[in-house]
Amino acid sequence: MQGITLAIGIISSALCVCLRAPYALATYVIVLVWYPDYLRISLGTIDISAGRIVVAILLLRCLCDKRISRKFTWSRFDTLIALSMAIYVGIYCFMYPVFSMSVENRSGFLMDTWFAYMATRLTITNKDDLVSFAKIVGLALVPLAIVGLIECTTHRYFFIHLKSFRPWDIPVGSVSITGRQGHARAVGPSSHPIMFGSCFIMLLPIIWTLRRQNNYWRKISYIMVGFACLGALSSWQSNSWITLIALVFFLMMERFTRLVKPLIICFIAFCLLVEMISNQHFYHVLYKLANITGGTWWQRVALIDSAIRDFGDWWLAGYGGRDPLWVARASNGRTDANNEFIKAGMLYGLPGVIALCVVLASAFNRLAKAFKQTMDKELKSICWALGSSVLAVIVNWQGVSFFGTSVSLFYCILGLVGSFTGLAIAKPQRIAA
């Protein structure tokens, strides 16, 4: 399998070199969602995935091609992303007991995050690039959604047996794919059903932007969006279902922008009211309401309670690779940090949580500013779709922490945010007399 991984990486890298920039990025995303991330090339203690091979070649091509690199302009958002990377790498290396292993870990982390972000920033520079990218990705998700539907209804898995090639890492049976209400939880080539559903949810808003096209792609976009929704539902996870419902709601609110602030105020008021009059914290109530497929909502709540209780133990710089021994346990016996914000606290302490929140807040601020300033209706729609994607990720993070493919896809989304907010809020050039 290592030979197959290397071959996929080489072939995909060759396509990234030969194809136009948006198609090259689409090739990278297709490798992320279709090729199992757990099948890697092992060189000693270093694991190299096909996605890392492809993104390294893609980024190198972008930096060497002057036609691509000269279009890039460094922004304040890029600086915030870079500073967050410095915090994630610096604290992890300082706190982790074995420095050499921490360097290896952070090197792979940067390839999954910083490389993915910069490759997206460099390759997608205008609306036409996004349209080309969305078309290819949308078409690639259709057969993947069909795979999910087959797995969900027949209980036959296409990729799960490939995990036997990595018995020391992710043994068969370590991921729970037991059925719910007569349906199996589709996992596809991902490491977990939630990760499988998350891929569709993050990419769905980008496909949704194709509805603005005036040709036959307008009709095709609705078909691709429908398959993306079915793919997310096939994971049969409360987390994915609630996130998909929230995402659809966010996208529909583009027609009712005046209601956004009142709805936010009402949500905050609801949380405060529940906190004051209920014998449970507001997040206990919200998690119960979101448990629509019979998931382990209590485990998510126990994780938050434990993090609040032991705040003094982790706020400075995290746990340095140590298990906090909280009550929420995973199948391997370790604390299951299935909340991205709590996971950031465990790894990097309060500085890491703040860095993550600052990046998200900056993304929303830039998107809101761009949405208000631009007069281009298509750019407005793109900004709204990207904001909806980031919001959906935050909702998703309340029940899962990203790893593998989902991390790289999220930073691709942030790369699109950096590119299109720069386009929308760019000052008009002065024309010489």
Q: Each residue's pLDDT tens digit in the chain (433 positions)?
A: 667 777 887 888 888 888 899 999 999 999 999 998 888 887 767 778 889 999 999 999 999 989 888 988 899 999 999 999 999 999 999 998 777 788 888 999 999 999 999 999 999 988 899 999 999 999 999 999 999 999 988 888 888 777 777 655 554 444 445 556 667 888 989 888 889 999 999 999 999 999 988 889 999 999 999 999 999 999 888 888 999 999 999 999 999 999 999 999 999 999 999 999 988 899 888 888 887 766 677 888 888 999 999 999 999 999 988 888 886 555 556 788 889 999 999 999 999 999 999 999 999 999 999 998 888 888 899 999 999 999 999 999 998 889 888 999 999 999 999 998 877 665 444 333 3
pTM: 0.92
Q: Per the domain annotation, does 430 fall within a domain?
A: no
Whose CA is closest to 283, among 313, 256, 307? 307
pLDDT at 288: 86
Residue 59 lies in a domain: no
Residue 1 amino acid letter? M
- Would 64 be classed as within a structural domain? no
CA dist list (Å): 7 to 18, 49, 108, 147, 353: 17, 11, 20, 23, 38
> Does 363 reside within a domain?
yes
| Domains held by the chain: number | 1
Q: For the residues of 216-280, what is the DSSP string, one character each?
A: THHHHHHHHHHHHHHHHHTT--HHHHHHHHHHHHHHHGGGGGGGHHHHHHHHHHHHHHHHHHSSS
- Tell whether 153 is covered by a domain: yes
Look at residue 433 in the predicted model and tell me its pLDDT: 32
> What letter represents residue 354's amino acid?
I
Tell me whether residue 278 is in a domain. Answer: yes
CA geometry: angle 196, 200, 206, nearest 5 deg: 155
Task: Please check whether residue 50 lies inside any domain of the structure.
Answer: no
For residue 409, give its domain range: 74-424
Report yes or no on 156 lying in a domain: yes
